[in-house]
Structure 1
């Protein structure tokens, strides 16, 4: 029972994003003829640990600030609820978050040694952002940007580098859509937490713009995601089969329309939050599939 509680504290249902991002970075490298099983496994483990650390430390710092005591919890936002329920001690949760971070950094350092020093800046930036994300970055109107970079663009680039030993324009271009998607994932999840975040001292885009204007930004970023995919294919920077990433558009449209209609109603926003998660995961996965199919066909 205790193990299950610790596992739930990491919010494992959201860690699939890390796996999909590694798959995309690996798919791009496979498309170019590079693949190493051990590096793939270690990269996946490292990013999952880093993601778990973000989730756990976010829970800890939000509990300490009082935010999680005020939020209306949904299946997609509002934290795990474990600390407010008293199921685990805050100090133990903090140690878990730091432990996951240290383990991720050790893997990152090893991959830097075997793949090249150019990976080190990503590892260092990732470690700093993970630790200070909730306690500082979410208060400076940059949380969405760092979320998009840290759990979108940079993992794809980092995975590609680990496999190939270098960076490329194709990998950079292919990493843009995941960055937009993850930034949008956080942006929409901020709607239900608006009042609690404002009271707890956070300052993010939804607070800065207001919910109505933030709806337009959300729709705009989603449009940018799909335009980026199409433009990259048209400019021959990504293979044509990556256009299957557009198949997630119906979920995106559902999230957008529901958000515009019900942005002030937390319960009615839940379908939008769910559609948003499906959009993010399916788009990233379909892009990876497009690269794998290009390699095979």
Structure 2
């Protein structure tokens, strides 16, 4: 009988680890992964610089930072009541660590801050290797991440949190990842090439904001969807998608990316289709198609990752066969 009882603590420990991993919202971590990997790939493509150890440190730091921001955000949305109301509506675009996974609020906020602290410590280490701008970028990212939900800043409650998140998780992370590989601060390439990933992050946040619109109204949380109105959200979505792919076109024209990267333009119809419920301008349509809207960020192969794969493959091919890069 003893031999049957001994695995139980180990099983509980494994389940607890799994619960915490789910609480990090792993489907959202593709944002950090894409930007860090893209910035690193640009350093190799444009400047023939690649340090795998620096890449691993940078990627780990950004994944931990985003996971920490997710936990802190969920904690404060739980306190405000918006997540309770949202779950009561019957929608669920990802498991909530407190409501769904039954983690204690105190443990969620503690682990969230701990992850952010470790990520910032990694930024300090990279600062000692590269220079002061890395520390500045780490501080800016920390302010945006922590201020996204935490009083008194509460960017996500004031109508511009999604914009700041898009800037941070797109151009800034791509730029920072390029800098730590090359030590070059003045090249605008990673800022331009990082725009599509940031705008895809914006699309995801608009989608989740549309699903939470009633709950946000009830607690006075002003998301971008509420700020512009559900009827006008479709225009924001169209502009966002247009700018995503225009940034890739501009990157190719400026020789930041090879011309073969324009293959990504074939993904425009798929991107528009994924954002379809948001283009209706009707709250009832968004509610009825909420599972479809989840595919914007929860699909097995998101458009974001497909774009990343195409860009990296075209950069590799262009380095092997240089005529394709011009």
Structure 2-normalised TM-score?
0.84
* Structure 1 CA distance for aligned equivalents of residues 315 and 283 of structure 2: 36
Q: CA deviation at 1:274?
A: 0.9
For structure 1, the residue ranges without an aligned partner over 5 or more in a row are none
SS at the partner of 1:221?
helix
Q: In the alignment, what sits opposite 1:251?
A: 270
2:8: which partner in 1? none
Partner Cα distance (2:165, 2:255) in 1: 28
Work out which of the residue numbers 158, 161, 164 in structure 2 matches 1:143. Answer: 161
Larger radius of gyration: 2
Instruction: Give 1:263 shift.
Output: 4.7
- Separation in 2, partners of 1:237, 1:37: 22
Aligned structure 1 segments of 4 or more residues deviating by more than 3 angstroms: 72-75
**Distance (Å, rounded) in 2 between the aligned partners of 1:166 and 1:194:** 43
Is it true that 1:205 corresponds to 2:218 in the alignment? no
Cα gap change, 1:199/1:173 in structure 2, threshold over 3 Å: closer, same or farther? same
Contact 2:68 2:115 in 1 (8 A): yes
The structural deviation recorded for 1:193 is 0.5
Shift in Å at residue 240 of structure 1?
0.9
Equivalent of 2:255 in 236, 244, 247:
236
Rounded to whole Å, the distance in 2 between the matches of 1:263 and 1:242 is 36
Please tell me whether residue 166 in structure 1 is matched to residue 184 in structure 2. Answer: yes
How many Å separate the matches in 2 of 1:289 and 1:156? 17
Superimposed CA distance per residue, residues 68-103 of structure 1 (whole angstroms, 9 cap, x where no aligned partner): 10114656x3x5323124711100100010000000
Of 29, 37, 49, which residue of structure 1 is paired with 2:64?
49
Pairing partner for 1:271 from 288, 292, 299: 292
Shift of 1:279: 2.4
> Distance between the aligned counterparts of 1:190 and 1:202, measured in 2?
10
**In 2, Cα distance between equivalents of 1:270 and 1:85:** 18
What secondary structure does 2:149 align onto? coil
CA distance in 2, matches of 1:3, 1:235: 46
Match of 2:84 among 55, 62, 69: 69
1:283 paired with 2:298, answer: no
**Residue 22 of structure 2 corresponds to residue 4 of structure 1:** no
Residues 171, 190 of structure 2: 8 Å contact kept: no
> How far apart, CA to CA, are the structure 2 residues paired with 1:85 and 1:281?
27
8 A Cα contact 1:10 1:53, kept in partner: yes
Q: Which has the higher contact order (CA 8 A, sep 6+)?
A: 1
Most deviating of 153-162 and 167-176: 167-176
CA distance in 1, matches of 2:20, 2:246: 40
Moved more, 240-249 or 32-41: 240-249
Matched positions, count? 295
Offset at residue 252 of structure 1 (A): 0.7
Is 1:84 the counterpart of 2:99? The answer is: yes
Counterparts of 1:114 and 1:95 in 2: how far apart (Å)? 29
Counterpart secondary structure, 1:82: coil
Shift of 1:291: 2.4
* 2:258 and 2:315 in contact (8 A); partners too: yes
Instruction: Give unpaired runs (5+ residues) of structure 2.
Output: 1-14, 322-326
Deviation at 1:51, TM superposition (A): 0.7
CA separation of 1:189/1:201 partners in 2, compared to 1, >3 Å: closer, same or farther? same
- Answering whether residue 201 of structure 2 is matched by residue 176 of structure 1, we say no
